[in-house]
Structure 1
């Protein structure tokens, strides 16, 4: 196949890792193309919370964080062997990446978000950073509408964009939350100019803010982006160097030369059931993932494996509890709803199918998912587990996609949801029978939780007894913000699946983001970042933003490595000629 076009760098995937690799490569003076198989750009990152976990970032009082304290914390939380050089490269390069991105004009805020293992040595509550609200119209009216839109769960009434402050005000129904909602709605409808273009809120928040602000810089540097362009295979020369790729667009195939490097940043494999079955100890189902439907199928990983690339940590996912509901107005289709914080609220408990607890329900969502896996391997009675709650919980909090009664009163719950997606009864015993759980075990578990709520101490799992748990509890529930008696009828239950934010394992890479073969040698010209690459953290999720932080950092690292390779390739022929002349 003849080469159709030539670039210095071709990036596969338009999420955070790909955007950063393209931006940094362009600033090195390289000609860059991003190819994206979807109809919209921004990847899973644009639909996310948009937080980055960056140790020692130096923003807003973080100046006393250090490299050593970050490594101390990571060493205390990682439970499997990892590439030490790659881990240290992350700790060293992440602050440099952030400083570089700030130098391009992207703004950041430090979030007071506790690390997910707050009792471990070296833990802090200021390593997570995010981008403030971004005006999406700055991308241009055409591109504004083409960035992947956030899920309904990140918007009020599925329409109005929420930043994290607004999200927490509405989530907790804190004082003045109705005023917050009114301002959001009014601001949206008063923006008549944007309403003529699209239903989408011009306010890009959370992951959309991060990607919008980054892509403003990417486009300003003349980087080309091609949508509906899918990687078919990687191209190599006789020396085993990756020299380009073959892509397809609506069935038309053509090849692209990448003179100095290909960066695989196309996400993980969570939507590929065959790969889940191959790698995961408890595979779970693709449809329980909370990433864009059928988006990340591992094609880039498969293409690299065909060249001899190796993988690591593929038994791990970025787990998050999810639940399923029919899509309103289209009941034959379903939506996946995250339940990351719902499972740890007061007036509720989570049990396996034996009717007993298996985890501190308020722990980090990845820890919750890992506990589901462990419990299922031990008992065979998890996946799904069950969130059981009472009328007090129902009035105030969401349960996955079931919104509180102030938003969705009982009369507005669709008839086909009851006793199929959401179960309800006047007694705990009848509820247990409805969901086929052992009545005695469930009743004992609820009685225990009521006693723990009275004392404020959970002797089984320590729920509500660390800073991370309490951040998402309810201060109105005393003496423990994560515990409350489950004693007010009616009682409810929803099944909770082990969903994910993507796969944690992927292509094995070195500290320069180069893809490694089975012998540990770098495959020349091939780089990977984001969920296409294995996490530097192995089996752990150290804090909010631990997916996007490494994605952008190793996109940055890959671009620097490619720029160095490009310089060497440009100068090597002159050296060779000089030697030949001698």
Structure 2
């Protein structure tokens, strides 16, 4: 075996992994990043790039006030006792420090003032500001050659399949604000007039979301001369006298042993692409094809390697749930995050009955599908149904609004695979196998709700989170509109995910713990291969990437002998 020695070996190349490597280099250590696939970035690269950072440095600019105490109690309530209090405190205290560090290394963020926490009725929730969106990143700083190594974003994150869009622009366009047309025209003009760049690559020079985050981190990685091995999957961890001493990876068809003088940091994603592990741990039915993450990644390699050395596992039955749809010729399902909030659609089971608030948080949406399927046996798949008015005005999945792309211009192969269409609700119900009377009754009831602005069944549009992606032009409720004008359409929804959230149990410094609570020396774990600090919940947009990078930041501090102390220990005493 070829021998190699580094101070820190980081397994994976998503946001948490790269932050760990960059921070290690800045602290005088020699890191190595090993990535299983041929592309860098993992699921982080195809994400929205948001991070959930309580009391962050940008909130005062938006006139918002937050506190560590409020954030701690909010996350603690969300976690439902399935995450330790000191770990929760470590996150809410250190996240803002990590966010400032991102700006220092060339990856600045700004808060989204009106994007509410996902559970706005809980004590400690904020109506906006904790979620932060990455500033646009100029790919020229990275260079075309390295850009080709960065995993491209999902088609659903692009306008017209080419142009990047950030969270602020997406909200403006989906909510049909007055400036929406001007935003679109500016994006198109900027892209098509950028001849010098488009002659080099088809990928947009302006990176947003997860692409901006990973583009910035990759640039910082290169500036520091950090060693990166692609196509080098983890085979096992090595140990001596109870301490992790390195890894064995496959490189060039050969097993290569790498010594980690200080530590190994596992940051390799969850297990959602491993059907065997899904069958073992997740609610049924389950299918790796429903997930919206890269198909060749996230097979639980790091979780199994850590467990083989005695690492405890927690939250293995939970995912970062999201409804997903199948689009032919795309490598993975598309998650449906926001379109279901627009007025004039509803989600039904096989009885044609609504069973949830369509505009609610996507994890709750997925959980509601499982719960109703357990009750009725016909909520997996579910169906999102909308009428001609919705079709004319709003995008949904890969389908642009009919005012821009009428049915006659849609791919013929999509009819009956991506969407179904009927001149009447009864005709549509027959095509999708849904009870026609139930469907008609649900549409009639939704139309009545739209007139009054009150969803008496599920409270859709009653809170600030629901309304964020509603149509500002629709009154009295931006999330409700009649479903009465034919033709009618439907799309099939699966109980998908954007990753699993169960994995190795860690402490507040990201050290992997055994069942007895003792740490495995030299082994750290961050991101989706660790059990989430958020427990079974999703407190706000950015609850995956925020903790991944924050605990990477804390892990390097501990590895260098400078652990970050907790400040508000009085909050722990209050909950003891």
Q: TM-score range by the shorter chain?
A: over 0.9
Aligned pairs (5 A) from 1:370-389: 370-389=367-386
Cα distance, 1:139–1:265 mapped onto 2, change above 3 Å: same
1:446 to 1:364, Cα distance in 2 relative to 1, 3 A: same
Q: Within the alignment, does 1:413 sit opposite 2:410 as a pair?
A: yes
In 1, distance between residues paired with 2:511 and 2:251? Answer: 27
Residue 308 of structure 1 corresponds to 310
Q: Which residue among 538, 541, 552 is the counterpart of 1:541?
A: 538
Aligned to 2:160: 157
Q: What whole-Å deviation, never above 9, does each CA across 1:201-237 have from its counterpart, x for those lacking one?
A: 1111111111222232222222111111111111111
Hey, what does 1:574 align to over in structure 2? none
C-alpha separation between the residues in 2 aligned to 1:433 and 1:79? 42
C-alpha contact (below 8 Å) 1:57/1:63 kept by paired residues: no
Contact 2:177 2:472 in 1 (8 A): no
Change (3 A) 1:78 1:384: same
Q: Say which of 113, 116, 136 aligns to 1:114.
A: 116
User: Structure 1 stretch 395-404 or stretch 348-357: which is displaced more?
Assistant: 395-404
Alignment match of 1:146 (pick from 144, 149, 155): 149
Offset of 1:249 from its aligned partner?
2.1
Cα distance in 2 for residues equivalent to 1:80 and 1:391: 46
Matches within 5 A, 1:566-581: none
Q: Kindly provide the CA deviation profile for residues 279-315 of structure 1, in whole angstroms up to 9, marking residues without a partner as x.
A: 1122421111111223211111111111111111111
Partner secondary structure for residue 95 of structure 2: helix
Aligned residue number for residue 488 of structure 1: 485
Match of residue 580 from structure 1: none
Aligned partner of residue 306 in structure 2, secondary structure: helix
Q: Is the 8 A contact 2:59 2:65 kept in 1?
A: no
Measured in 2, the distance between the counterparts of 1:335 and 1:403 equals 19
User: What do the CA deviations read for 1:120-170 (whole angstroms, capped 9, x no partner)?
Assistant: 111111101122101111123321221111111111111111122332333
Task: Show the counterpart of 1:260.
Answer: 262
Aligned to 1:104: 105
- Residue 187 of structure 1: aligned partner: 190
Alignment partner, residue 23 of structure 2: 24
Q: Name stretches of at least 5 consecutive residues in structure 1 with no aligned partner.
A: 328-332, 567-582
Show the counterpart of 2:48.
49
For the residue of structure 1 that corresponds to 2:172, the secondary structure is helix
Hey, what's the Cα distance between the residues in 1 that align with 2:454 and 2:282?
35
Q: 2:79 — aligned with what? A: 78
- Deviation for aligned residue 1:176: 4.3
Q: CA deviation at 1:502?
A: 0.7
Out of 303, 317, 320, which is 1:318 matched to? 320
CA separation of 1:140 and 1:426: change in aligned 2, threshold 3 A: closer
> Retained in 2: the 8 A contact 1:242–1:526?
yes
Whole-angstrom CA distance in 2 between matches of 1:70 and 1:253: 45
Report the Cα offset of residue 444 of structure 1.
Answer: 1.4
Q: Which residue of 1 aligns with 2:527?
A: 530
Residues 16, 551 of structure 1: 8 Å contact kept = yes
Equivalent positions of 1:14-413 (< 5 A) are 14-61=13-60, 64-112=65-113, 113-124=115-126, 125-237=128-240, 239-327=241-329, 335-413=332-410
Query: Which residue number corresponds to residue 504 of structure 1?
Result: 501
Q: Write out aligned runs for 1:435-514 (5 A).
A: 435-514=432-511
Q: Compare 463-472 and 161-170 and name the one that shifted more.
A: 161-170
Contact 1:338 1:401 in 2 (8 A): no
Secondary structure of residue in 2 paired with 1:386: strand
Judged with a 3 Å threshold, the aligned counterparts in structure 2 of structure 1 residues 407 and 288 are, in CA distance, closer, same or farther, namely farther
CA distance in 1, matches of 2:3, 2:52: 40
2:59 is paired with a residue whose SS is coil
Counterpart of 2:512 in structure 1 is 515
Does the 8 Å contact 1:9/1:30 carry over to 2?
Answer: yes
CA distance in 2, matches of 1:153, 1:269: 23
Q: Distance in 2 between matches of 1:212 and 1:314?
A: 31
How far apart are residue 347 of structure 1 and its match? 1.0
Please say if residues 15 and 265 of structure 1, whose CA atoms lie closer than 8 Å, have aligned partners that are also in contact: yes
Mean CA deviation greater in 171-180 or 374-383: 171-180
CA apart distance, 1:182: 3.1
Distance 1:520 1:60 in 2: 37
Partner SS for 2:333? strand
CA distance in 1: counterparts of 2:557 and 2:283, whole angstroms:
36
User: Does the aligned pair in 2 maintain the 1:241–1:524 contact within 8 Å?
Assistant: yes
Please give the TM-score of this superposition, normalised by the length of structure 2.
Answer: 0.94
Deviates more, 1:434-443 or 1:22-31: 434-443
**Contact 2:372 2:379 (C-alpha < 8 Å) held by counterparts:** yes
Shift of 1:430: 1.9
CA distance in 2: counterparts of 1:141 and 1:344, whole angstroms: 37
Give secondary structure in 1 for the equivalent of 2:323: strand
Contact residue 231 and residue 245 of structure 1 kept, 8 A? yes
Quote the offset at 1:456 in angstroms: 0.8
Spell out structure 1 runs of 4+ moving beyond 6 A: none
* SS of match in other structure, 1:293: coil
Q: Which residue of 2 aligns with 1:571?
A: none
- Compared CA separation, residues 105 and 423, structure 1 to 2 (3 A): closer
Distance 1:225 1:75, change over 3 A: same
> Which of 60-69 and 494-503 deviates more?
60-69
Give aligned pairs, total.
559
Comparing 396-405 with 174-183, greater Cα deviation is found at 174-183
Contact 1:507–1:515 (CA under 8 A) maintained in structure 2: yes
